[in-house]
């Protein structure tokens, strides 16, 4: 069982048990534990019997359990013994049983049902004729309704599930059979169904005849019964059910010794009837090609049997056949028909079709080792039944084509999933679901190579859809043998050829790595001059509302940027597109991360509440054609878009802070009396710029580049396309995780930090707008007129310039003297400091729990001199003092702990306290209300 299958089963089990929302641990953890702890189950008679006995001892209805086990065992149910073994282990887990019991009770109570047995409910009913009050009648009515609801719900769900699985499992278009095939009841080699007694009423009892006459009469009847014909003294009884064994009535006046010989021969007639009925039934279209081939093989043996029976009849007419000779001659044939009847009964009980029939025949063949004649017979039947299945298998692994008219093959095609959706649907699973394996159709002898069979045909099918002629040089006929190694080697060679063929097509002809490098250039900001130039030219467009932006203008600017930057040498640059998404990055990620959690409704996006700018909705898109879309699917492109939007927004924040820095340079020419507060704004801007630049450096050079290097190394060693898909997915998942885009809490903190930086930049630029305009006017006038002025005019102009500078300086002093400016800068400082400390503390806390120290690199960059560590230690000390103090009112304690942030970043670190990861926990509502 593959890792993906186990992950799916674990997810389904968590959903059914209702622990998906309450359990903080995801299915990945349980899957990893199962993969590490699982051991191969060895089916033995001892383990099965012990497990069965253990379940029966702990069951309230052991007889029903044992009867159901025998029924499923008789139907050759696959994986029955491993399931019973697992259930026996669950019987030993008291904690698990208590959880399952509580979960069942909670679900029943929620649905208004009861889990009491029917017998207990019916035993509470009053005796017939008893008088009941209205209250008692109402109670009985409620109890019966609950029990009826249990029965109706279970049966309805079970029926829907069976019908759905039956419809999905087999997509058979059965041809219409002629009516005369059902109307002419005499078209059979079996006994007529209407025979229930002797046709001749004048038959005298055999006991009145001599023993020799009795033997001759019985001999004639036996030869008739051997051919499924009506006799006089040995009569077939009507069948009690469709697949019941044929029984016979014997004249009880028959001599005892003769009667014993007849009883020895009659099982042959019973087995003949079973085999003939099987052949005639399984020859119908709906039972598939495997049953057709098996029926044909049995029919060949039945023809030989009928020839032998005709020879015995000839000897009887010549007077050379006795009952003892007949019994002797039939000994080998009785064993053959016994085996044929056993196979027929097993297939009928299990309603086996296709691969299930081959599994049963394979197990039957393996069980006959030691009996050469029986083993040869079973081998003949298995080889004959395998012929159509192997032909389907050959077409699949040698040509990538499925020709399975009766849905018997282990691989089935889902025609509703088309490859064109790979570039449209995020959840499209063309590679996983267009061709899939059905477990019940896998023959036992092909279970170990089922995945390779699936992948071999998938690889060839992709090549064939690209217009290539697929012709495997190792194509050989597949023939069933008891030694499985032979066709294992053939399948392995076909798999190696198919995987290498598709890899060569993707990597060499379709230039997969070149396309991935192209995507990395644009989506992961690998081309520095390209993204800077593009942001310069689209700055005005990005500020507008999404409804006011013309995508055609953005496309034109994108094309112009591509042509005038280093991206011009990229041969795939024309596949890059502009995409305006209807949601911002944070809302999208929070909604994705909250799927199947308690916060799913909280983060659900309402399009009517979103008012996006071009910057918030902008993203790149990429045109990918088949078969490259297998690797670069819509799901992969969406991950690239998430990374790009995150990096793009960080780059925008950096540009805004750099604009503030440029504006700050202009104010340095003024001697401001209130420069203390403007200097505080300078320092805060530098801290913000340091955070953003180090955060970008961390993502670009400590996350993306190392992961890309590992991805390239892995790609140089791949042997099949599944490895390519896995390595590409791992690369994107690692980038998303290490860029803090898969943690809801880290994502929200980073988003708040960036919003504070952008809001601060906008505020400072508005304050210094007048200064910037005046300085720019003076600079332009000086540069254009300075050379043409005389000395006197230059003195006058210098005086004007000093006057203008004084006016601007007084204006700025007036702005800075305003208490709102001082308070605003302090608010920005406190918000930024609180969120940054919260981010550092959360990174420490999460990495301490998960033992994944990748995020520590960003801590080392932001806290290279221990500055923030001192603040975290001071906050821990203050919190520890408050926690140790005795407070009678819990609400007062809560209010006092909300003020744990130091008022100034110049606070001294206590020498007796050290920072403990996770001890600093920001309270709810501490940051959102005052963020600017």
Of 686, 181, 167, 729, nearest to 432 by C-alpha is 729
498-502 average pLDDT score: 92
| DSSP single-letter state for residue 352 | -
Tell me what the pLDDT averaged over the chain comes to: 77
Tell me if 407 sits within 8 A of 169, measured CB to CB.
Answer: yes
What pLDDT is recorded for position 24?
A: 64
What pLDDT is recorded for position 607?
A: 43
- Distance of alpha carbon 398 from alpha carbon 473, whole angstroms: 9
Which residues on adjacent β-strands are paired with residue 645? Answer: none
Most confident of 371-385, 409-423, 742-756, 820-834: 371-385
Give the pLDDT band (50/70/90) at residue 893: very low
Which residues on adjacent β-strands are paired with residue 578? Answer: 620
370: left (phi over 0), alpha (psi -120 to 50) or beta: left
- Distance of alpha carbon 925 from alpha carbon 932, whole angstroms: 14
Q: Which has more pLDDT, 479 or 598?
A: 479
- Distance of alpha carbon 253 from alpha carbon 205, whole angstroms: 7
Q: Which of 127-136, 222-231, 823-832 has the lowest mean pLDDT?
A: 127-136
Which residues on adjacent β-strands are paired with residue 928? Answer: none
Tell me if 543 sits within 8 A of 554, measured CB to CB.
Answer: no
Tell me if 637 sits within 8 A of 520, measured CB to CB.
Answer: no
- Which tokens sit at 634? 């819509």
Tell me if 735 sits within 8 A of 704, measured CB to CB.
Answer: yes
Whether the per-residue pLDDT at 564 is higher than 80: the answer is yes
- Distance of alpha carbon 494 from alpha carbon 657, whole angstroms: 60
527-535 average pLDDT score: 85
CB-side exposure of 564: number of CA atoms within 13 Å? 11
Whether the per-residue pLDDT at 76 is higher than 80: the answer is no
Per-residue pLDDT of 124-148, as tens digits, reads 555 555 566 677 677 777 766 655 5
598-619 average pLDDT score: 61
- Distance of alpha carbon 141 from alpha carbon 427, whole angstroms: 48
- Distance of alpha carbon 439 from alpha carbon 450, whole angstroms: 9
What pLDDT is recorded for position 486?
A: 78
Phi then psi for residue 283, to 5 deg, are -80, -5
Give the pLDDT band (50/70/90) at residue 900: very low
Which residues on adjacent β-strands are paired with residue 577? Answer: 621
Q: Is 454 helix (H, G, I), strand (E, B) or coil?
A: helix
Give the pLDDT band (50/70/90) at residue 799: low
- Distance of alpha carbon 300 from alpha carbon 372, whole angstroms: 20
Q: At what angle do helices 485-503 and 372-399 cross, to 10 degrees?
A: 0
Of 708, 746, 355, 324, nearest to 520 by C-alpha is 708
Give the pLDDT band (50/70/90) at residue 742: confident
Beta strand 248-250 pairing with 234-236:
antiparallel
Whether the per-residue pLDDT at 899 is higher than 50: the answer is no
What pLDDT is recorded for position 171?
A: 61
257-269 average pLDDT score: 93
Per-residue pLDDT of 688-702, as tens digits, reads 999 999 999 999 999
What pLDDT is recorded for position 920?
A: 40
Q: Is 621 helix (H, G, I), strand (E, B) or coil?
A: strand
What pLDDT is recorded for position 1?
A: 54
Give the pLDDT band (50/70/90) at residue 809: low
What pLDDT is recorded for position 822?
A: 75
- Which tokens sit at 742? 């898969």
58-65 average pLDDT score: 80
What pLDDT is recorded for position 172?
A: 65
Whether the per-residue pLDDT at 425 is higher than 70: the answer is no
Tell me if 602 sits within 8 A of 594, measured CB to CB.
Answer: yes
What pLDDT is recorded for position 675?
A: 52
Per-residue pLDDT of 649-692, as tens digits, reads 999 999 888 888 776 666 555 544 445 556 788 888 888 999 99
With a CB cutoff of 8 Å and minimum separation 6, the contacts of 234 are 218, 221, 222, 225, 248, 249, 250, 251, 262, 266
467: left (phi over 0), alpha (psi -120 to 50) or beta: left
Whether the per-residue pLDDT at 328 is higher than 90: the answer is yes
| DSSP single-letter state for residue 618 | E
Per-residue pLDDT of 711-725, as tens digits, reads 999 999 998 888 999
Whether the per-residue pLDDT at 813 is higher than 90: the answer is no
Cα dihedral 848, 854, 855, 857 sign:
positive
Whether the per-residue pLDDT at 42 is higher than 90: the answer is no
Whether the per-residue pLDDT at 40 is higher than 80: the answer is no
- Which tokens sit at 565? 């930057």
The CA–CA distances, whole Å, from 8 to 4, 28, 169, 451 equal: 6, 10, 19, 17
What dihedral angle (degrees, nearest 10) is formed by the CA atoms of 793, 796, 802, 805? -70
Give the pLDDT band (50/70/90) at residue 883: low
Of 340, 388, 344, nearest to 368 by C-alpha is 340
**Ranges of H-type helices in 400-527:** 430-433, 450-465, 485-503, 512-523
Q: Is 619 helix (H, G, I), strand (E, B) or coil?
A: strand
What pLDDT is recorded for position 868?
A: 74
What pLDDT is recorded for position 860?
A: 78
Q: Is 331 exposed, middle or buried (0-12, 13-18, 19+ CB in 10 A)?
A: exposed
What pLDDT is recorded for position 773?
A: 44
What pLDDT is recorded for position 567?
A: 86
What pLDDT is recorded for position 823?
A: 81
Give the pLDDT band (50/70/90) at residue 909: very low
Residues of the chain by 3-state class (helix, strand, coil), percent to 5: 70, 5, 30
Beta strands per DSSP E along 208-250: 234-236, 248-250
Tell me if 527 sits within 8 A of 576, measured CB to CB.
Answer: no
Give the pLDDT band (50/70/90) at residue 601: very low
CB atoms within 10 A of CB 317: 9
| DSSP single-letter state for residue 578 | E
What pLDDT is recorded for position 762?
A: 85
Q: Is 413 helix (H, G, I), strand (E, B) or coil?
A: strand
Q: Which of 39-48, 144-153, 161-170, 464-473 has the lowest mean pLDDT?
A: 161-170
Greatest Cα pair distance in the chain:
161
Whether the per-residue pLDDT at 428 is higher than 80: the answer is no
Give the pLDDT band (50/70/90) at residue 293: very high
**pTM to 2 decimals?**
0.70
Whether the per-residue pLDDT at 921 is higher than 50: the answer is no
Whether the per-residue pLDDT at 902 is higher than 50: the answer is no
Q: Which has more pLDDT, 35 or 489?
A: 489
Whether the per-residue pLDDT at 446 is higher than 50: the answer is yes
| DSSP single-letter state for residue 422 | G
What pLDDT is recorded for position 859?
A: 80
What pLDDT is recorded for position 426?
A: 57
What pLDDT is recorded for position 370?
A: 81
- Which tokens sit at 381? 């039947």
Whether the per-residue pLDDT at 551 is higher than 60: the answer is yes
Tell me if 475 sits within 8 A of 398, measured CB to CB.
Answer: yes
Q: Is 86 helix (H, G, I), strand (E, B) or coil?
A: helix
With a CB cutoff of 8 Å and minimum separation 6, the contacts of 10 are 27, 30, 31, 34
- Distance of alpha carbon 804 from alpha carbon 823, whole angstroms: 29
Give the pLDDT band (50/70/90) at residue 268: very high
Of 758, 766, 903, nearest to 827 by C-alpha is 903
Whether the per-residue pLDDT at 200 is higher than 70: the answer is no
Of 603, 607, 582, nearest to 592 by C-alpha is 603
What pLDDT is recorded for position 416?
A: 77
Per-residue pLDDT of 90-113, as tens digits, reads 888 877 778 777 777 777 777 666
Percent with pLDDT over 90 in the chain: 26
């Amino acid at each position: 069982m593959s890792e993906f299958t186990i992950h799916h089963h674990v997810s389904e089990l968590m959903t059914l048990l209702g622990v998906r929302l309450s359990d903080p641990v995801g299915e990945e953890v349980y899957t990893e534990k199962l993969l590490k702890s699982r051991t191969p189950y060895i089916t033995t008679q001892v383990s099965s019997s012990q497990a069965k006995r253990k379940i029966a001892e702990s069951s309230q209805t052991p007889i029903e359990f044992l009867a159901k086990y025998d029924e499923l065992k008789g139907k050759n149910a696959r994986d029955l013994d491993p399931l019973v073994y697992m259930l026996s282990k669950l019987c030993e887990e008291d904690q698990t049983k208590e959880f399952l019991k509580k979960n069942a009770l909670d679900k029943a109570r929620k649905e208004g049902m009861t889990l009491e047995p029917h017998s207990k409910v019916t035993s509470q009913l009053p005796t017939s004729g008893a008088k009941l009050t209205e209250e008692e009648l109402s109670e009985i009515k409620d109890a019966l309704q609950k029990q009826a609801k249990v029965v109706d719900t279970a049966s309805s769900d079970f029926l829907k599930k069976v019908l759905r699985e039956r419809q999905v499992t087999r997509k058979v278009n059965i041809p219409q059979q002629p009516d005369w095939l059902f109307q002419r009841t005499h078209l059979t080699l079996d006994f007529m169904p209407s025979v229930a007694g002797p046709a001749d009423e004048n038959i005298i009892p055999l006991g009145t005849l001599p023993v020799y006459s009795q033997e001759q009469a019985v001999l004639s009847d036996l030869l008739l019964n051997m051919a499924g014909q009506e006799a006089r003294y040995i009569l077939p009884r009507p069948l009690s059910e469709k697949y019941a064994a044929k029984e016979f009535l014997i004249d009880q006046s028959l001599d005892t010794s003769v009667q014993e010989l007849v009883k020895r021969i009659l099982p042959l007639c019973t087995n003949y009837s079973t085999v003939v009925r099987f052949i005639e039934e399984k020859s119908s279209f709906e039972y598939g090609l495997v049953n057709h081939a098996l029926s044909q093989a049995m029919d060949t043996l039945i023809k030989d049997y009928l020839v032998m029976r005709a020879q015995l009849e000839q000897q009887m007419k010549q007077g050379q056949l006795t009952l003892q000779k007949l019994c002797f001659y039939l000994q080998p044939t009785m064993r053959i028909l016994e085996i044929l009847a056993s196979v027929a009964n097993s297939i009928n009980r299990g309603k086996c079709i296709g691969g299930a029939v081959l599994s049963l025949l394979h197990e039957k063949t393996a069980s006959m080792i030691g009996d050469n004649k029986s083993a040869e017979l079973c081998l003949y039947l298995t080889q004959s039944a395998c012929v159509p299945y192997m032909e389907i298998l050959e077409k699949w692994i040698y040509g990538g084509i499925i020709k399975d008219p009766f849905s018997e093959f282990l691989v089935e095609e889902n025609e509703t999933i088309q490859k064109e959706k790979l570039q449209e649907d995020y959840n499209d699973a063309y590679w996983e679901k267009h061709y899939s394996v059905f477990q019940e159709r896998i023959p036992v002898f092909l279970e170990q190579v089922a995945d390779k069979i699936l992948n071999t045909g998938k690889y060839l099918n992709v090549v064939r859809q690209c217009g290539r002629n697929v012709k495997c040089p190792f194509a050989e006929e597949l023939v069933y043998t008891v030694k499985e190694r032979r066709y294992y080697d053939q399948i392995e060679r076909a798999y190696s050829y198919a995987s290498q063929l598709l890899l060569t097509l993707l990597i060499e002809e379709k230039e997969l790595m070149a396309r991935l490098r192209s995507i990395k250039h644009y989506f992961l900001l690998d081309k520095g001059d390209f993204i800077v130039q593009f942001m310069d030219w689209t700055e005005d467009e990005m500020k507008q509302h999404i409804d006011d932006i013309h995508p055609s203008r953005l496309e034109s600017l994108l094309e112009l940027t591509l042509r005038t930057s280093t991206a011009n040498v990229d041969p795939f640059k024309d596949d890059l597109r502009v995409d305006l998404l209807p949601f911002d990055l944070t809302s999208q990620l929070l909604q994705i991360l909250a799927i199947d959690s308690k916060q799913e409704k909280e983060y659900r996006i309402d399009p009517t509440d979103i008012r996006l700018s071009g910057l918030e909705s902008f993203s790149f898109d990429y045109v990918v054609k088949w078969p490259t879309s297998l690797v670069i699917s819509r799901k992969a492109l969406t991950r690239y878009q998430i990374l790009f939007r995150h990096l793009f927004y960080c780059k925008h924040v950096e540009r805004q802070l750099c604009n503030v820095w440029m504006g700050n340079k202009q104010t340095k020419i003024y001697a401001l009396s209130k420069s203390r507060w403007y200097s505080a704004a300078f320092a805060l801007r530098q801290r913000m710029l340091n955070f953003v630049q180090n955060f970008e450096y961390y993502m670009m050079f400590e996350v993306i580049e190392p992961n890309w290097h590992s991805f390239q190394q892995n790609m140089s060693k791949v042997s099949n396309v599944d490895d390519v898909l896995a390595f590409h997915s791992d690369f994107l998942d690692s980038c998303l995780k290490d860029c803090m885009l898969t943690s809801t809490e880290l994502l929200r903190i980073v988003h708040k930090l960036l919003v504070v930086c952008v809001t601060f930049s906008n505020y400072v630029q508005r304050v210094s707008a007048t200064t910037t305009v005046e300085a720019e006017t003076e600079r332009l006038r000086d540069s254009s007129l300075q050379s043409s002025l005389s000395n006197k005019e230059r003195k006058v102009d210098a005086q004007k310039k000093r006057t203008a500078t004084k006016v601007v300086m007084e204006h700025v002093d007036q702005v800075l003297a305003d208490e709102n400016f001082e308070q605003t800068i302090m608010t920005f400082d406190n918000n930024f400091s609180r969120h940054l400390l919260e981010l550092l503390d959360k990174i420490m806390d999460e990495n301490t729990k998960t033992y994944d120290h990748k995020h520590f690199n960003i801590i080392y960059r932001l806290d290279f001199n221990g500055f923030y560590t001192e603040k975290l230690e001071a906050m821990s000390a203050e919190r520890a003092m408050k926690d140790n103090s005795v407070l009678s009112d819990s609400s007062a304690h809560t209010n006092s702990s909300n003020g744990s942030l130091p008022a100034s970043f110049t606070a001294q670190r206590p020498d007796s306290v050290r920072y403990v990861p996770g001890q600093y926990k920001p309270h709810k509502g501490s940051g959102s209300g005052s963020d600017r």
